[in-house]
Amino acid sequence: MAKGKVTKDDWTMAALRALARGGVPAVAVDVLARELGVTRGSFYWHFANREALLVVALETWERHGTTDVIALVREQPDPLVRARALFAEALGSEEIAGLEPALAAQTAHPAVADVVTRVTRARLGFLEEVFSDLGFGPADARHRALAGYAAYLGWLELRRTAPDLAPEARLGGPGAQAALDHLVGMVLSPAGPVS
């Protein structure tokens, strides 16, 4: 990037990529400035300090990965189409590979903990709503929300840590669409007897 052309959004996305690579400690102003091809002065044009950048980056992740996705999926009037669209959107795209698992591992940092808590609350609440709209009672909708969210997090972790062992979890990997369809089918299937 040319000097002087780096925006607040550029810094924010660089911080999110750094979080995915190495957690909170990787969000280092000097490193990000080198990555963006600018001086530290550019950073201070947009942010008061590193913590301010971290907060904006986390809020951006929350908005793009949760608020915007929920708003998009809510537009679907059919509950089954809405449910399928949610899983397809959540698991079928990943703006910054490894970001979700990296943030989950950084909840000792207060800013990360606050945002991860809000995101988890919003996602579980929306999943409960999705399952309720499909006709499941409150307890079953809650349990399915937990199972669906656990499957989502596990899927992303497989994608990050075992791409060769679970190529189906990779975006565009062999058998990825069939595996995703199977997962969604399992989560959405009617309840059967529990032994």
Q: Which two tokens stand for residue 77?
A: 């009037």
Domain-located, residue 121: yes
Contact 20, 96 (CB under 8 A): yes
Domain annotation covers residue 11: no
Q: What is the CATH number of the domain that holds 133?
A: 1.10.357.10
Q: Is residue 96 part of a domain?
A: yes
CA–CA separation, 106 vs 119, rounded Å?
14
How far apart are the C-alpha atoms of 130 and 138, rounded to whole Å? 11
How buried is residue 67: exposed, middle or buried, by Cβ count under 10 Å (0-12/13-18/19+)?
Answer: middle
Residues 83-130 have pLDDT tens digits of: 989 988 888 777 888 899 899 999 999 999 999 999 999 999 999 999
With respect to residue 65, please indicate whether it lies within any of the assigned structural domains: yes
Quick check: is 157 in a domain? Answer: yes
How many other CB atoms are there within 10 angstroms of residue 112's CB atom?
Answer: 22
Range of the domain at 126: 58-188
Answer whether residue 67 is part of any domain: yes
Provide the CB-side half-sphere exposure for 142 (13 A, CA). Answer: 3
Instruction: Report the 10 Å Cβ neighbour count for 87.
Output: 23
Say which amino acid occupies 121: R
Q: Render pLDDT for 155-184 as a digit per residue (tens, 0 to 9).
A: 888 888 888 998 888 888 888 889 888 888
Residue 44 lies in a domain: no
Confidence (pLDDT) at 191: 64
- Please check whether residue 185 is in contact with residue 80, taking contact to mean a CB–CB distance below 8 angstroms: no
- Count of structural domains, the chain: 1
Does residue 29 lie within any of the structural domains?
no
- Angle subtended at Cα 155 by Cα 149 and Cα 157, rounded to the nearest 5 degrees: 105
Over residues 35-57, mean pLDDT:
95
